[in-house]
A and B are shown apart, each in its own frame.
Chain A
Amino acid sequence: MPKTLFEKVWDEHLVATPEGQSPLLYIDLHLVHEVTSPQAFDGLRAAGRKVRETKRTIATVDHNVPTEPRGTPILDPIAKRQIEALQQNCREFGVRLYDIDSPEQGIVHVIGPELGFTQPGITIVCGDSHTSTHGAFGALAFGIGTSEVEHVLATQCLPQRKPKTMLINVKGKLGEGVTAKDLVLGIIGKIGTDGATGHVIEYAGEAVRALSMEGRMTVCNMSIEAGARAGMIAPDETTFAYVKGRRFAPTGKDWDAAVERWRSLASDPGAQYDTVVEINASDLAPFVTWGTNPGMVVPITGRVPDLPPNGADRPNAERMLEYMGLKPGTPMQEILVDRVFIGSCTNSRLEDLRAAARVAKGYKVASGIRAMVVPGSQKIKQAAEQEGLDKIFQQAGFEWRESGCSMCLGMNPDILSPGERCASTSNRNFEGRQGRGGRTHLLSPMMAAAAAIEGHFTDIRNWRFN
């Protein structure tokens, strides 16, 4: 029977299918960060258990780390304690840690691929919902809670109910100025924030094939914002070229064997999905969110929507607009911003920074706006500096900072003040996400850079590049 990409990876990882229980899935790679792991390590200690496979477990600190120059003391004692707990746990249990002073530290979903750990056909989990990012390589990668982190540390397995499958087929080509971020925002806008609940999405079609690995990671990253368990893209030459030569990727004969295996992962012709969604790339535009969930998207040329008619949805919409400080009918391009954030596991890779720098080059950030660029990892920061991107940003008036999750969720000191409005390349515009009372609008790196310069949202398709 023809199989989908997901089914192939799933079947390959079944350790046991006990009668009356959930199937037991083997986990090839477990990524760990400081926020969702301390209680899991405590659980191991309490039960006298070890980490079953330390070579399949890698850790980094990303959520809490300040993005000021490294060596700046961490002033928040609770954050400091959490980082120290991870350091201590990694020492005690023998887990590889990319610590705060490591030249390879970075956001967990950035460094996994960057170091070559993330590979096609493997299973990956992390106590973080944006683990879906790694599906860009044709891996089955999903977020888990802390109890499951403990489970994987102890057993290298997870009991999992088999999810449903959803194909999202994107026909045609993305227009100029329409990026991977706009593609995924468009998808979430169409299917809703629970549109893919219980499903693993496979993204396919001409527009997806044409994306770089960075773009594919952006798309898969936000699968969770549509409620999906995971997002996947079949590996191809673009994937192999990205993985080849990375430090933890296969080499020599192992590489050849791996590529041959990876080529067989693509969904078979005639494979069936539980749900199929068709998207025309030509219908997509640069998008901006207006509300407090990632499904509330409008094209940049659009307006804040009217309130729905009286009914169950109206109080929610009213609440959303009040929180966002917006009135129905306001053109998106007239909305002024206070802050700009370019970073996060969605959009902090070299390609994202290049795109934003191309927009910023030769311009100045509008007066009164604070704009920051936070590279996803130390390696990206270094590569960007070698290309001079840091100079372009700094000359334009952007802050150029150290790597971490930063203002995507504001667990470190990078937060919005109440009422501040932020153009953000991150993934969630929930109430308070970037700081209590803060107002987040999600958009692409180019659109964010343009908003910083203009002081309001603006259509990147009309930009005059220097």
Chain B
Amino acid sequence: MQPFRKHKGKVAPLYRANIDTDQIIPKQFLKRIEKTGFGQFLFNDWRRSAEGVADPSFVLNQPQYSGASILVAAKNFGCGSSREHAVWALSDFGFRAVIAPSFADIFANNCIKNGVLTVVLKENETEEIARRASETRDYKLTIDLEQCSVWDDQGLTAGFKIDEFTRHCLLEGLDDIGLTLQHQAEISAYEAGHPVPAAWKS
């Protein structure tokens, strides 16, 4: 996994509440059996018409947000389906972090596994960042995971909290299957005391 330590990047504002994973990556694109190539379909039904024509009013189609690597959204981002394809699409498109007042649980877990940072800030802070990103050309933020802090060049700073173990995994880019396998002996001991039910063995 790609580690996340400190990142400075352009911010794209998509300040809507309850953006669900069906919007982030519509279901017609879930049939691929690879992890790659989902970026082209990110927010597909919001980005382009059924005929494939780009909607110029959609933020990710606006040239000033080209190359954005930080997305700022309103509360409950990533709700709905567990599809990790949503994170693969964000990541493949170039996003390293999403900032919002709250995230849905499964989506946030999926982000961690892919080195995408979810930054939870207060509602007024996210609103202010979204406003600055809308009004300031080439608006950039720095996100520092070591310091758990976010700042811009105009004097805005905000701190965020993150589970310590999650932070450690992101900073180091750890493969957590490898970490679990370090507990091989404990897993085997647990299994010895909890065998597969007899009826399931057939």
Contacts and interface: CB of A to CB of B under 8 A. Distances in A.
A151 interface: yes
B135 interface: no
Interface in B38-73: 45, 50
Interface residues of A, number: 77
A309 B26 CA distance: 31
A148 B47 CA distance: 29
A430 B22 contact: yes
Contacts of B79: 193-194, 227, 293
A197 B201 contact: no
Most chain A CB atoms below 10 A, which of B80, B179, B186: B80
Interface string B106-131: 10011001100000000000010000
A79 B32 CA distance: 8
B82 A24 contact: no
Given A20-B164, A198-B105, A293-B20, A150 B177 contact: yes
Nearest to A409: B27
B153 interface: no
Interface string A218-253: 000000100101000000000000000001111100
Contacts of A128: 81-82
Interface stretch (A153-161, A331-339, A390-398): A153-161
Contacts of A433: 22, 27
Contacts of B177: 47, 49, 150-151, 154-155
A159 B30 contact: no
Interface string A374-412: 000000000000000000000000000000000001110
Contacts of B194: 26, 28
B181 A154 contact: yes
B202 to A, nearest CB: 8
Contacts of A277: none
B199 A20 contact: no
Interface in A5-29: 15-16, 18, 20-22, 24, 26, 28
Given A194-B104, A418-B50, A145 B180 contact: no
Contacts of A82: 31-33
A435 to B, nearest CB: 9
Interface in B138-181: 163-165, 168, 176-177, 179-181
Interface of B: 16-18, 20, 22-23, 26-28, 30-35, 45, 50, 74-76, 79-85, 87, 102, 104-106, 109-110, 113-114, 127, 163-165, 168, 176-177, 179-181, 183, 186-187, 190-191, 194, 196-201
Interface of A: 15-16, 18, 20-22, 24, 26, 28, 35-36, 38-39, 42, 47, 49, 53, 55-56, 63-64, 76, 78-79, 81-82, 85, 116-117, 127-129, 143-148, 150-151, 154-157, 159, 161, 163, 193-194, 197-198, 224, 227, 229, 247-251, 254, 293, 312-313, 315-316, 319, 409-411, 418, 428, 430-433, 436-437
